[in-house]
Amino acid sequence: MTRDHSPSSGVPTPSRRLVLGATAAAVAATAPAGRAAEPAPAAVVSTWDFGAAANAEAIRVRAGGGTALDMVEAGARVPEADPANHSVGYGGYPDRDGHVTLDACVMTDRGEVGAVCALEDVVHAVSVARRVMEATPHTMLVGAGARTFAIDQGFETTNLLTPEAEAAWRDWLKTAVYAPRPNSEVDGLRGGAADHDTIGILGIDAAGRMAGACTTSGMAFKMRGRVGDSPLIGAGLYVDAEAGAATATGVGEDVVRVCGAHAVVEGLRAGLDPTTACRRVIERLARLRGTAVARSQVALLALDRHGMAGGFALQPGFSYAVTDANGRTRIERAGALFEGP
C-alpha cells in the first residue's frame, strides 16, 4: 500500500540552487568552443527554474526502468515536498480562510487520466491523482471526497500550513488585497506573497511512451473552493501519443478560457513545432481577452513525441527546465508576446 511522506520522513529534497548550479556547469562543459552544442532530444521538461530538481528525479526513475508516468509522478513529488516552494504542496500559501488546498492531475498517452481538486492534508496530491486513475472508475475527486479517498488508500495526513506560509497569510490579512505578480513562482527562487500555480512536468520513457503531471497549491489567498487550470485535463495538461504533450502555468482562469494544453497539442498534431504551437495559443488568448491580460502571466510548455521542447508566454520571465536521457539539464527562457507589465 502506497504511503504518502512528509518532508520529515527522510526523503531528500534537492537544493534548487545546487541543482541549477550543477546543471549549468554540465551544459557549459559539453558545449564545443566557438559554437553551440546541438541539444539532445529531451526526456523530461518542466516549468520554471525549480523544475531542474524535479527533472533530475524523473531521470533517475527513468534510468531505473520506470515508465513515463513513474517519471513525472516522481518529479512532481520533489517540489510538492519542498517547504520553501510556496506555490506547490507542503508550504504552499493558503486560501483566504487559511486552508492549504492542493490540485493535481496526471495523464498518459493512452488517454488514462486522474485528478484531485481542493485536496487538504495530503502532501503528494500528484500521487493521489494517480491513484484516482488506477483505483477508481472516475477521472476526478474533489474536496472532502478526495481526502477520504486518499486516507482510505493509505496516504498519511500532514498539516500543510507551515509557520512561514501562515505568517505570510496573516500579513496578507492586514490588507486582504489580491494582486498576482507575473513569474512570482521564481521570484528569488522562493516566491512571494502573491504566488500562483504550479509545476507542470512532461516525460518520455525509454520505450517512447509519454505522460505528464501538473500539481499546485493554487493562487495564494484565493477564495475558498477556487480551482484553476492545473487539475483540468485539456487546460493545465494534455498528452497525446500521436502528437506530444503540453502543460500550462500562470493565471489558471485564463488558461481555462482557451483550453490551453489541448490547444497546444492540436497545434503539434497540425505540424507546428512546440514553440510555435505555444505561441499560437498565447496569441489567441491575447486576441480573446485584450487588455484584461495585459498585466497577467500565462505560459505554455510543450514536448513533442520526438523530444523537441518549446514554450511561450504572455510576459517575459517564463523559464523551463529541459533534461535529456543522460541527465544533462539546461534552463530555457521562453519568448513572450508582451514587453512586460
Rounded Cα distance between 76 and 57, Å, is 9
Looking up cell 504566488, which residue turns up?
195
Whether 234 and 197 have beta carbons less than 8 Å apart is answered as no
Rounded Cα distance between 89 and 79, Å, is 7
Rounded Cα distance between 1 and 208, Å, is 28
**Torsions phi, psi for 244 (to 5 deg):** 150, -155
Element (H, E) at 168: helix 163-172
Q: Identify any residues that bridge with 210 across adjacent strands, giving them in sequence order.
A: 204
Annotated catalytic, 198? yes
Across 38-162, where does the E strand assignment appear? 42-47, 102-108, 113-119, 140-142
Other Cβ atoms less than 10 A from the Cβ of 111: the count is 10
Q: Please pick, among 108, 162, 198, 249, the residue that the annotation labels catalytic.
A: 198
Other Cβ atoms less than 10 A from the Cβ of 295: the count is 15
Burial letters 242-266, b for 16+ CB under 10 A, else e: ebbbbbbbbbbebbbbbbbbbbbbb
Rounded Cα distance between 341 and 333, Å, is 17
Rounded Cα distance between 53 and 12, Å, is 11
**Residues designated catalytic:** 198
